[in-house]
Amino acid sequence: MGLSTDEMQEMRTRIVEVLRTVFDPEIPVNIYELGLVYNIDIADTGAVEVKMTLTSPNCPVAESLPQEVEQKVMAAEGVTDAKIQVVWEPPWTPEMMTEEAKLELNMM
């Protein structure tokens, strides 16, 4: 028997909390608020797949940031496996940031 809907929702909350601890080193806002996380898919087995992007294909942390995300997601309670997929469609734009991120960066 796999995870219940409630357990999956609790896991999603924990994963989002973890993602809020990962920062793009050039921008003082976490990757979740920046809008770099496009999708979090949780299987009832506890396996997690995160689809994310970077601010640009030439991002200096293109190698290390997805690895950091994978390690932190894998460490979240209940996660049995973590896969991070970096995607470029749709391309990231500043409009994808949360209101909080825009305020933090004085973009409002």
* pLDDT tens profile 29-78: 999 999 999 999 999 999 999 999 998 888 888 889 999 999 999 999 99
CATH number at residue 44: 3.30.300.130
Average pLDDT over residues 7-32: 93
Q: Which residues contact 34 (CB under 8 A, 6 or more apart)?
A: 24, 27, 55, 92, 96, 97, 101
Average pLDDT of the chain, as a whole number: 93
Average pLDDT over residues 91-95: 93
Among residues of the chain, what percentage have pLDDT more than 90?
78
- Whether the per-residue pLDDT at 84 is higher than 80: the answer is yes
- Which strands sit side by side in the sheet containing 81-86, from one edge to the other? 37-42, 47-52, 81-86
pLDDT category at 96 given cuts 50, 70, 90 is very high
Let me know if residue 29 belongs to a domain: yes
Structural domains of the chain, count:
1
Please give the pLDDT value at position 24.
82
Range of the domain at 89: 5-100
pTM of the model: 0.91
* pLDDT tens profile 40-51: 999 999 999 999
Average pLDDT over residues 5-29: 93
Let me know if residue 107 belongs to a domain: no
Q: At which residue do the structure tokens 């293109």 appear?
A: 62
Let me know if residue 78 belongs to a domain: yes
